Amino acid sequence: MGVPLPDPDVPPGQPTPHYFDAEPTVDSDPSTIRLTLADLTIELVTDRGVFSRERIDVGTRFLLMEGPDVPDSGHLLDLGCGYGPIALTLAHRAPEATVWAIDVNDRARDLCAANARRLGLDNVKVVAPSEVPAEVRFTAIWSNPPIRVGKEALHELLSRWLRRLRPDGQAHLVVQRHLGSDSLARWLTDQGWPTERRASRKGYRLLDVAARQKATQETMSRNLSGTELKRLHREWRRRSEGRVALILDGVQNPINVGAILRSAAAFRVDGIWAVPPSAGPDHPRTAKTALGSERYVTWTDVETFDEAASAARATGFRIVGIELTDDAVALPEAELNGDVCLVLGHEDRGLSKVALAGCDGHAFVPLLGKIGSLNVAHAATTALYETRRQGFS
Ligand SMILES: C[S@@+](CC[C@H](N)C(=O)[O-])C[C@H]1O[C@@H](n2cnc3c(N)ncnc32)[C@H](O)[C@@H]1O
């Protein structure tokens, strides 16, 4: 499982590269190593900037020696192939199967593909993870997984690929005990992938992971726990670029304002400027609909739209009115990147003339049915979502 680089050849002061970097920055210096197993001996070219370049990793060798028979057909996956010791062994043992060798590290993929070519193993497909066709389902996954990416990333990675096991498929993972093999096995079982220890030696565990079975409610979809929800929201928060704010240009119905506050808190709106006759956050019906979310949003009452617009611009927002004007752009085509302040108007009258004139641009929600407009709170939620969507990295 590997010791992360520090590469002794990296000059002091340079950032330490990882074997899972997409494009290793260390200079190339290829060398050849030998993999000897009971049923094959092959030479593999390795290089700097890839995992375990000087010798076959002890965990990898353990997996290849103690793993089960390889299914002789179907799709097999080497998750995190490096220069290819696992993928090439699988391809040799199951010449009729297709072996997908995936890795985020470009140099590792190039090495793996060149090693497969040189050994005449033309049943190996070396691709980036995103290039595996969506319909492919695996009979077996073999992996010495990248534990060093961190627990959260590892869980996401394993979930992503284990979901693609055939119902009768199995994964075989080698993990060092001191890097958390036992807690990983528990986590996998808790997530609905029954996991058992096949073998254990010198601090390494070989885990057999069965596919999720569809049948029972427990292993089917389930609601996320509070902690899982927090983790999920944190992940999307991290992936969000840009700030979002709102100007309420006379949104009068307190129930609508409450609903807007709820969406504003959910989409992490920086602040709301409210122009009369907008209802306020303290109105009992606003508070009832907002369900306490009002405490997460900064609310500022102003006298006029121009006052709101000046305040928004002063803090760097571009102002986009949500209104069906002759120059409005459909939301999915509107430019909503960066810091955007959306303006929402009165329930019947829409945006005031002053607001229409004072926006930097206008956007509308494209509708398909016989009803030509949305309730203002729903329009706000839709526009907030589209603005956030454009800023997701
Ligand atoms: C522990 S190494 C194993 C390499 C090789 N299978 C071996 O046994 O020598 C894990 C590999 O996973 C790759 N990796 C890291 N994150 C990945 C991801 N998200 N998807 C696919 N591969 C990834 C790393 O670049 C690294 O080559």
Residue 5's pLDDT is what?
A: 40
pLDDT of residue 393: 80
Show pLDDT as tens, one digit a residue, over the chain (393 residues): 443 444 444 445 555 567 777 777 788 999 999 999 999 999 999 999 999 999 999 999 999 999 999 999 999 999 999 999 999 999 999 999 999 999 999 999 999 999 999 999 999 999 999 999 999 999 999 999 999 999 999 999 999 999 999 999 999 999 999 999 999 999 999 999 999 999 999 899 999 999 997 654 445 677 888 988 999 999 899 889 999 999 999 999 999 999 999 999 999 999 999 999 999 999 999 999 999 999 999 999 999 999 999 999 999 999 999 999 999 999 999 999 999 999 999 999 999 999 999 999 999 999 999 998 999 999 999 999 999 999 988
- Residue ranges around ligand 1 (CB below 6 Å): 1-2, 19-20, 51-52, 57, 60, 80-82, 85-86, 102-105, 108, 129, 144, 146, 149, 157
**What's the gap in Å between 148 CA and the centre of ligand 1?**
10
Nearest CA to ligand 1 atom 27: 82
Is 88 within the bounds of a domain? yes
- pLDDT computed for residue 3 by the predictor: 39
Residue 269 is predicted with a pLDDT of 98
**267 in the same domain as 145:** no
What atom in ligand 1 is closest to the CA of residue 102?
A: 21
Same domain, 204 and 260: no
* Contact between 360 and 341 (Cβ < 8 Å): no
Whether 169 is in a domain gets the answer yes
Identity at 284, one-letter amino acid code: P
Q: Atom 25, ligand 1: which residue's CA is nearest?
A: 20
133 and 181 together in one domain = yes
The CATH number of whichever domain residue 261 belongs to comes to: 3.40.1280.10
* CATH number of the structural domain spanning residue 138: 3.40.50.150
Query: Do 102 and 199 lie in a common domain?
Result: yes
The pLDDT of residue 11 is 47
- Which stretches of 320-362 are DSSP H helices? 353-358
Q: Are residues 80 and 120 in the same domain?
A: yes
> Distance, CA 101 to ligand 1 centroid (Å)?
10
Which atom of ligand 1 is nearest the CA belonging to 21? 25
φ and ψ at residue 321, rounded to 5 degrees: -85, 135
Residues 166, 206 within the same domain: yes
Question: What is the model's pTM?
Answer: 0.59
Tell the residue nearest (CA) to atom 10 of ligand 1: 146
Name the DSSP class of 392: B
Q: What is the pLDDT of residue 14?
A: 53
* Gap between the Cα atoms of 7 and 10, Å rounded: 6
Can the peptide bond before residue 17 be classed as cis, meaning omega within 30 degrees of 0?
no
Residue 112 lies in a domain: yes
Quick one: which atom of ligand 1 is closest to the CA of 157?
19
Q: What is the DSSP letter of 348?
A: T
In a domain, residue 2? The reply is no
From 54, 144, 162, mutation site for ligand 1 pocket: most ligand atoms within 8 A of C-beta: 144
- Check residue 213 and give its pLDDT: 79
52 and 98 within one domain: yes
Question: Token pair of 119, please?
Answer: 């050994």
Which residue, judged by its Cα, is nearest atom 3 of ligand 1?
Answer: 144
Strands lying side by side in the sheet with 244-249: 298-301, 271-275, 244-249, 340-345, 318-322, 361-364, 329-330
Is residue 97 located within the same domain as residue 161? yes
Same domain membership, residue 364 and residue 246:
yes
12 C-alpha to ligand 1 centroid (Å) = 26
**Which residue among 104, 106, 111, 162 is best mutated to probe the pocket of ligand 1, counting the most ligand atoms within 8 A of its Cβ?**
104
The Cα 108–Cα 147 span in angstroms is: 17
Same-domain pairing of 173 and 242: no
Q: How far is the CA of 129 from the centre of ligand 1 (A)?
A: 11
Q: Which ligand 1 atom minimizes the distance to the CA of 1?
A: 1
Pair (384, 339) in one structural domain: yes
Instruction: Judge if 317 and 185 occupy the same domain.
Output: no
Domain residues for 386?
237-391
Last residue of a domain, one of 191, 210, 229: 210
Ligand 1 atom with least separation from CA of 63:
8
Spatial separation of the C-alpha atoms in residues 390 and 334, rounded to whole Å: 10
Structural domain count, the chain: 2
Q: Is the CB of residue 113 less than 8 Å from the CB of residue 176?
A: no
Q: How far is the CA of 334 from the centre of ligand 1 (A)?
A: 39
